[in-house]
Structure 1
Amino acid sequence: MSLGEGVQLGVFGILSLLAIGFAVGVVFAPNIVYSGFLLAGVFLSMAGLYLLLNADFVAAAQVLIYVGAVNVLILFAIMLVNRRYVFKPLQLGWLRNGATAAVCLGLFALLATAITQTPWPEQPIAAISSVEVIGGHFFSDYLLPFEVASVLLLMALVGAIVLARRDFIIGALPEDLSGGEQSLLERYRPLIAADVEDDTEAEAAELASSGS
C-alpha cells in the first residue's frame, strides 16, 4: 500500500466515523435544535466521502443543497414551530425498539453481503466528467424523480413562508399563559392592534384607488 492510498484510507475512516457519530447524535440529542445542527455534520461528512470518490460536483451539490438549503430550512421550521410537547411512554416500547433493531441489522447484513459478493473491477475506470454524466441521467433516466423532488422542495419552501408569516390573533388571551407572558402580551397588544389597523386602512385605500 502506497502512502497516498494509506492517507486516503485514513481519511475515509475518519469521515465515516464522523458521519456515524453525527447520525447517532441526531437520534439521541436531547434538543431538537442540536439534532438539526448535527444533521449538517452528517451532510458535510457525506460531502467529504464524495470528494474521495472524485465526485466533486456531487460534493458541491451536497453542501449547497443539503447543508445550505434543506438543513437551514429544517432549522427555520424547528425554531418557528418551537412547541414543547410532553411525550407519554409508549406501551410495549421494547417491542418497537426490538423490531427497529432487527430491521437495521437486517439492512446492514444485506448491504455487507452485497458489498462482499459484488465483483468490483480491479482496473481503474476511465474518468468521465461527473457533471456530464449527472446531467445526462437527470434529463433521461431520472427526469420524473428530479421533477418530483423539485415539487417537494417547493412545497417545503411555501410551508416555511406560511409559518414565517403567522398573523397575531387579537382576541382573548390563552388560558395557559403565565402571568408574565400575559402582562407582556397586554403591553404589546395596542401596538399590534395599531399595526393591523394601519395595514387594513392601507389596503382599503389601495382598493379604492384601483376601483376609481
Structure 2
Amino acid sequence: MSLALSTQLICFLLLSGALLLGALGVVLLPNVVYSAFLLGGVLLSMAGLYLLLNASFVAAAQVLVYVGAVNVLILFAIMLVNKRQPLRPMRVLLLRRLLSVGVCLGLLALLVQVALTTPWALPGPPSIGEAAIIRIGEHFFTDYLLPFEVASVLLLMAMIGAIVLARRDVLARDVVTGAPADQALLERQRSPLLPSQDASSPSAPSP
C-alpha cells in the first residue's frame, strides 16, 4: 500500500470515528448545548469525507450552509429560549425510547442492506474538476428546483420559530399554554442579576 492510500485510509477512519461518536453524543447527551456543538462536529466530519471523495464544492457547501447557518441557528435558538421553567414529566417515557430505538435500528438495517446490495461501480468515474460546480448548479435550478425551494422554506420556518420562542416575553399570552404572561416574572427569569420583586419593593412602615 502506497503512502497516499494509507494516509487516505487513516483520514477516513478518523473522520468516520469522529462522525459516529459525535452522532451518538448528539442523541445520548442530556445537555442540548453540548448536543448542538457535537452536531457541528458531525457536520464538519461529513465535510471531510466529501473532501476525500474529491467533492470540494459539496464540502464547502456543507461547511457554509449546515455548519455556518443551520447549526448556528440551532445554537441561537437554544441560547435564547428561556430554560428556567421546569419541564413537565413525560408520560410513557420508556415506551417512547423503545420506539425511537426501534425506528433507528430499522433505518440502520435499511441503510446497511442498501450499501451491501447496491452494485457499486468502483473505482467510479473520473473527476471532472471545476465542471462539477456548473453541473451541480444546473441540477439545482432544473431537476431539483422544488426540493431546493422547500428546504429554504423549512429553514425560514425554523428561523421564525426560534424568534417566536426567544421573544415570548413581549407577547401578551404564552404561545404554549395560552395563559396571560407575567411580564415581570419573565423579565426576572431572563435577568437573574436583577433584584427580585420582594427585595426591590420598599418595606412597609412599621406601626
TM bucket normalised to smaller: 0.7 to 0.9
Uncovered stretches (5+) of structure 1, i.e. residues with no partner: 188-212
Partner Cα separation in structure 1 for residue 20 and residue 121 of structure 2: 27
Partner Cα separation in structure 2 for residue 145 and residue 184 of structure 1: 56
Partner Cα separation in structure 1 for residue 98 and residue 183 of structure 2: 47
The reply on whether 1:155 has 2:170 as its aligned counterpart is no
Partner Cα separation in structure 2 for residue 49 and residue 138 of structure 1: 22
Partner Cα separation in structure 1 for residue 196 and residue 35 of structure 2: 28
Tell me which stretches of 4 or more aligned residues in structure 1 moved more than 6 Å: 168-172, 175-179, 184-187
Q: Which amino acid aligns with 2:32?
A: I
Q: Report the equivalent of 1:167.
A: 170
Partner Cα separation in structure 2 for residue 95 and residue 168 of structure 1: 36
**Residues 110 and 167 (structure 1 numbering): CA distance in 2 closer, same or farther, change over 3 Å?**
closer
Taking only aligned residues, the RMSD between alpha carbons, in angstroms, comes to 3.2
- Does the aligned pair in 1 maintain the 2:12–2:52 contact within 8 Å? yes
Tell me the alpha carbon deviations over residues 124-151 of structure 1, each in whole angstroms, 9 at most, x when there is no partner. Answer: 4122233122112111111001111122
Partner Cα separation in structure 1 for residue 54 and residue 159 of structure 2: 31
Task: State the 1:162 CA deviation.
Answer: 4.8
TM-score of the two chains, using structure 1 as the length reference: 0.73
Q: Report the equivalent of 1:181.
A: 196
Q: Report the equivalent of 2:140.
A: 138
- Number of matched pairs: 186
TM-score of the two chains, using structure 2 as the length reference: 0.75
**Residues 161 and 109 (structure 1 numbering): CA distance in 2 closer, same or farther, change over 3 Å?**
closer
Q: Describe the SS at the equivalent of 2:170.
A: coil
Q: Report the equivalent of 1:44.
A: 44
**Residues 125 and 29 (structure 1 numbering): CA distance in 2 closer, same or farther, change over 3 Å?**
same
Query: Where is the helix percentage greater, Structure 1 or Structure 2?
Result: 1
Q: Which amino acid aligns with 1:43?
A: L
Partner Cα separation in structure 2 for residue 157 and residue 125 of structure 1: 39
